[in-house]
Chains A and B, each alone.
Chain A
Amino acid sequence: MPELNGHLVRGVDHAAFPTFDPAATVRFYHDILGFPIVHSVCAVGWGPADHPDFVHFFFDIGQGDRIAFFYYFGLAPLAEPGRDAYATHGAQVPGFFRDSRHLALHVDSVEVLEEYARRLEVAGEKVEMRIQHETIESIYTHDPNGYLVEFTCPTRELTAGDDRDAVLTLRALLDVVADGEPSLARMWARKADLIVAQQR
């Protein structure tokens, strides 16, 4: 059992942002800056009824920390190109998009996760969600500014296979975005072609 007093967070697990231009995002972070593509989640929209299908993809920013993006299929841009995709939002912007910009702090164990949940609750702050994701378990709250803050601990190590899958995800996503009318179904089909081509 870890010591649960004091300052227990271990830096950034990931900082996450929405994107309307995954191709430019991959070019900037991967092609230009050389950040490895390390993980992706491709999911059918779930939770809020207005949640679109989405791809959540991650780049390694060193020391195991990551910068992550959400691409939402079928969502028209909510900000002008080149503008901050958050600060220009009005009240009409859906919650899933607002919350896609968040800071996820790393903790080493479920016990520490629960300690931060306890600290929040003792102070009258709300732990809004506790979710076991694909490879992490997280709690979420909003800070007084309305920014979503996540505390997360890994439930398994990411592997080279996860990273290779993420590379195929982004190749498929960028192909269907370039073709126009991108959708999760088209991305799945393109990715199947890429997987089959790799097997040959």
Chain B
Amino acid sequence: MIRLFILDVPEFRQVIEKAAQSAQRSGPAGDYVEFDSDEAITVDRRAAGVRRAVWYSAIAALSGGKVAQYDGDALRIEPA
């Protein structure tokens, strides 16, 4: 199972919203928001409206998944 953590701060708020729509479950985990999913988690960068300089540091922690795509278009995490 993918366990993705994003730091719960203003600059990642839109990434958090889009990841929550993609992951099967999400919720607070201390200073982070945790996203759990048995299927791929995908976030479209433009749909999230995130600048590139912030986009590439959105992942705080990740287990059970591998980053299949992380470029100017999208972040896609697939089950490991």
Contacts and interface: CB of A to CB of B under 8 A. Distances in A.
Nearest to B62: A188
A132 B51 contact: yes
A191 B32 CA distance: 12
Interface residues of B, number: 27
Contact of A161 (B9, B53, B63): B9
B31 A165 contact: yes
Contacts of B53: 46, 131-134
Q: What is the predominant secondary structure among interface residues of chain A facing chain B?
A: helix
Give the size range of A's interface with the partner: 20 to 34
Contact of A195 (B5, B11, B52): B5
B63 A42 contact: no
Interface of A: 41-46, 131-135, 156, 159, 161-162, 164-165, 168, 172, 185, 188-189, 191-196, 198-199
Interface of B: 3, 5, 7-11, 29-32, 34, 51-57, 59-63, 66-67, 70
